[in-house]
Structure 1
Amino acid sequence: MQFSVGDVVQMKKAHPCGSNQWEILRTGIDFRIKCCGCGHMVMLPRVKFEKNVKKIISQAQPPQE
């Protein structure tokens, strides 16, 4: 799967706030993601992130020229 900043993904497990949708804020060796429910931010290693993603809900819009 290809991930980019601004994508919203669904994780396999829900966050304690009840939401399982996360926005990607940073990609690379580590991923920084933000919960769409409560705004909590988490850093995850790429391997763990890719293992826990269920699907991409919405993709970031490419920049308009």
Structure 2
Amino acid sequence: MKLEIGDLVELKKQHPCGNHQFEILRTGADFRIKCTKCEKQVWVPRATLEKRIKKVVSSHK
């Protein structure tokens, strides 16, 4: 899956604040994503994130 910094993704599982959308801040073996509602940042392994993505909302190209 082609993901870049700045992309907005919608995940299958919601964040504890109730939001499903996250912004990608860092890519690589691990991703750093930020909740667009409460601004909380989370580190997620690439394999886990790719399984949890429902769709890419917006892509920065």
Give the shorter-chain TM-score range.
Answer: over 0.9
**C-alpha separation in 1, matches of 2:46 and 2:16:** 22
Give the structure with higher Rg (CA).
1
Percent identical pairs in the alignment equals 52
- Give the structure-1-normalised TM-score: 0.90
Q: What are the superposed Cα offsets for residues 5-53 of structure 1, whole Å, 9 maximum, x if unpaired? A: 0000000011111110000000000000000010000001100010101
Mind listing any 5+ residue stretches in structure 2 that lack a counterpart? none
RMSD of Structure 2 on Structure 1 (CA): 0.7
Specify the alignment match of 2:36 in structure 1.
Answer: 36
The aligned runs of 1:1-65 (5 Å cut-off) are: 1-60=1-60, 62=61
- Normalising by structure 2, we get a TM-score of 0.95
Q: Provide the C-alpha distance between the structure 2 equivalents of 1:52 and 1:12, rounded to a whole number of angstroms.
A: 5
Moved over 6 A (4+): none
